[in-house]
């Protein structure tokens, strides 16, 4: 009889992530994850509390991975604000190369879709914090570029870091396309050249 596998939370999250990407978030159940990992239902409930928390923490791990990579890419771009924004905009393509399943989960399951009534407050708070992290990055980049942190400046950075990567890379499944990345860089530069509306 095979010995039970060691209970590794990351392995559990890997299994939940694979289920969510392959069959949709509804497929992530305690029973399905237990079957995929060999971890007992009881051990999963002890660690994660509920199916909602397991799914939420799976998404949060993907979000943390992406935001950490994006921050590293911005730091590596140096002090030039335009280069930093372009690096941040290209983060989804780099993320897809390093973490393909996390990329699919993070960019196909909306954070708001996880905010059900049964989600624990601690997980709800962590989900909200991921959004705040991205907004703070936008404010930092806006200040570097224009010495501004107002809504118009953040809106311009939202176009560069969310709207354009989504339209050019994600929606058209072109994350690995070098031409698409060149198009993204050129488009981001054009938006930054115009700049935000007056404060």
Angle at 183 between CA 180 and CA 184, to 5 degrees: 85
Using CA atoms, how far apart are residues 126 and 115, in angstroms rounded to an integer? 11
Using CA atoms, how far apart are residues 139 and 150, in angstroms rounded to an integer? 8
- Token pair, residue 26, equals 């509804």
The residues spanned by each domain of the chain are: 61-194
Using CA atoms, how far apart are residues 71 and 46, in angstroms rounded to an integer? 33
Architecture of domain 61-194: Orthogonal Bundle (1.10)
**Which residues lie below 8 Å from residue 180, measured CB to CB, with a gap of 6+?**
168, 169, 172, 174
How does 130-160 read in b/e, with b if 16+ C-beta sit within 10 Å?
beebbeebbbbbbebbbebbeeebbebbebb
| pLDDT tens track, the chain, 199 positions | 344 444 688 999 999 999 999 998 889 999 999 999 999 999 999 899 899 999 999 999 999 999 999 999 999 999 999 999 999 999 999 999 999 999 999 998 887 777 777 888 999 999 999 999 999 999 999 999 999 999 999 999 999 999 999 999 999 999 999 999 999 999 999 999 999 999 8
């Amino acid at each position: 009889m095979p010995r039970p596998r060691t209970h590794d939370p990351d392995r559990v999250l890997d299994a939940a992530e694979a289920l969510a990407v392959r069959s949709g978030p509804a497929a992530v159940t305690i029973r399905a994850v237990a079957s995929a990992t060999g971890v007992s239902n009881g051990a999963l409930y002890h660690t994660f509390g509920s199916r909602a928390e397991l799914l939420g923490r799976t998404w949060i791990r993907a979000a943390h991975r992406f935001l950490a990579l994006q921050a590293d890419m911005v730091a590596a771009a140096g002090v030039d604000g335009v280069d930093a924004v372009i690096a941040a905009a290209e983060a989804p393509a780099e993320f897809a190369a390093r973490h393909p399943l996390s990329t699919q989960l993070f960019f196909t399951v909306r954070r708001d879709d996880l905010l059900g009534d049964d989600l624990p407050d601690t997980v709800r708070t962590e989900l909200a914090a991921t959004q705040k992290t991205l907004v703070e990055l936008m404010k930092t980049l806006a200040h570097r570029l224009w010495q501004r942190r107002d809504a118009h400046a953040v809106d311009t950075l939202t176009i560069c870091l969310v709207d354009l990567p989504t339209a050019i890379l994600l929606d058209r499944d072109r994350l690995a396309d070098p031409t698409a990345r060149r198009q993204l860089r050129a488009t981001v530069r054009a938006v930054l050249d115009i700049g935000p509306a007056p404060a």
